[in-house]
Amino acid sequence: MPAMMRNLLVATLIITTLGIVDPGVYAQETNAPQAARPALPEAPRPISDEDIQLLRKDIRAQRKQLIAANLPLTPSEAEKFWPVYDRYVSELVSNNDKKYALIKQFVQTDGVLTDTQADDAVKQWVSVDESVAALRRKYIPVFRKVLSAKNEALFYQIDRRAQLMIDLQLMAMIPMVQP
């Protein structure tokens, strides 16, 4: 796929992903002096379980499209790659269930947590990140069986970029912890 088409797809994905977030997210807090505390984005309306499930489904579809558009596979490679990718994503979804439970907690409490809840939340976020990293390590030899070394590296690069865009979108939706 030509680089121009790839760049267009990536730009479209970014715009689509960020378009899901309410524009009010980027408004600055008006009751705090600028010099005293930089304004952080405020979260839009509360997120329901249904919103989260739809968002997750949409993200998975966009992620798969992004990978398909940017990972050059022969028909033979594609036949072997996509079932492995689907298993990987299935396990990734299981790992991310904890992340979405944390998001729900932050939204339900509007960022107001006890010290114990805040401490637990930090530990859970780090645990999710560690489990995702462990999953990626686990799948290195699995993907290597169906992809060339360069395509495997490209896949992980695309996958990581997609995850960073997803995380940016999600973080914009979560209320900041209240001091």
pLDDT tens digit sequence for 116-155? 988 998 899 899 999 999 999 999 999 999 999 999 999 9
Kindly report, residue by residue over 67-82, the tens digit of the pLDDT. Answer: 999 999 999 999 999 9
What pLDDT, on a 0 to 100 scale, did the predictor assign at position 47?
Answer: 58
Question: Given 3-state DSSP classes, what are the helix, strand and coil percentages for the chain, each rounded to the nearest 5?
Answer: 75, 0, 25
Q: What does the block give as tokens for 42?
A: 């405020």
Q: Within 13 A of 47's CA, how many CA atoms are on the CB side?
A: 27
Rounded CA separation 104/173 (Å): 10
